[in-house]
Amino acid sequence: MTEEIIIAGFGGQGVLSMGKILAYSGAMQDKEVSWMPSYGPEMRGGTANVSVIISDERISSPIISQFDTAIILNQQSLDKFESSVKPGGVLLYDPNGITNPPKRTDINIYKIAATEKAADLGLAKVFNMIVLGGFLKVKPVVTEEFIEKGLMKSLPERHHGMIPENLKAVQTGKELVQAVHTL
């Protein structure tokens, strides 16, 4: 199993940390992982993206241009990465602010209204974990047990009190995700 993922959205949406938690969880589950961020001035409030690879084998290139899954959190990222999903792959997006939804028919498309849900629940902080939950429902590349371990490892100890809330958000995401188009 090798899963090559891009997560893309605005800076401040928790894109990088979602990727980190996913990578940590994979590592805890004894998989090979890599996490490769975009970096530089674009991190300052513009778009942010990170490629995460989770694999049973040694990872060759951590730099990838074709993805098994694209997790998309704004229109710019959708425009940029829709075409980079491998045929038969997955595109998961949050419809908030999306004016031109994905059009491809050779991939599986899911949506998750995580922005709206997080606002309803007053849980803006764990918005990204709702999205992560949605992804894990579609592609269970790591199990829940290891998500918890990944959170323990990636969050500083002073934030460990927030782990139950994060796990609950993952559950919420699992329930929230909806298929738009599947093959």
Partner 1 sequence: MAKELKLMKGNEAIAEAAIRSGCDGYFGYPITPQSEVMEHLMAEKPWEKTGMVVLQAESETSSINMVYGGAGVGKKVMTSSSSPGISLMQEGLTYLAGAELPAIVVNVVRGGPGLGTIQPSQADYFQATKGGGHGDYQLFVLAPATVQEMYDFVFLGWEIAFKYRNPVMILSDGAIGQVMEKLYVGDYVPRWTDEELRKNAPWASFGKPTDRKHHIITSLELDSAKQELHNHKLQAKYREMEEKEVRFEAINCDDADYIFVAYGSSARIAEKAMQLGKEKGYKIGILRLITLFPFPKKKIAELSTKVKGMLAVEMSAGQMVEDVRLAAEFRCPIEHYGRYGGIIHTPQEVLEALEEKIIKRK
Name the site residues for partner 1 (rule: CB under 8 A): 20, 23-24, 27, 32-37, 39-41, 59-63, 65, 153-154
Strands 2-10 and 85-93: unpaired
Q: Find the shortest distance in angstroms from Cβ 63 to partner 1.
A: 5
Residue 166 CB, nearest distance to partner 1 (Å)?
Answer: 17
Nearer to partner 1, 153 or 181 (CB): 153
Q: Which is nearer to partner 1, 57 or 120 (CB)?
A: 57
Q: Among candidates 78, 77, 52, 79, which has minimal Cα distance to 63?
A: 52
Q: Which is nearer to partner 1, 12 or 40 (CB)?
A: 40
Half-sphere exposure of 177 (CA within 13 A, CB side): 26
**Count of alpha carbons within 13 Å of 102, Cβ hemisphere only?**
31
With respect to partner 1, which residue has the nearer C-beta, 61 or 182? 61
Contact 69, 51 (CB under 8 A): no
State the minimum distance, in angstroms, from the CB of residue 39 to partner 1.
5
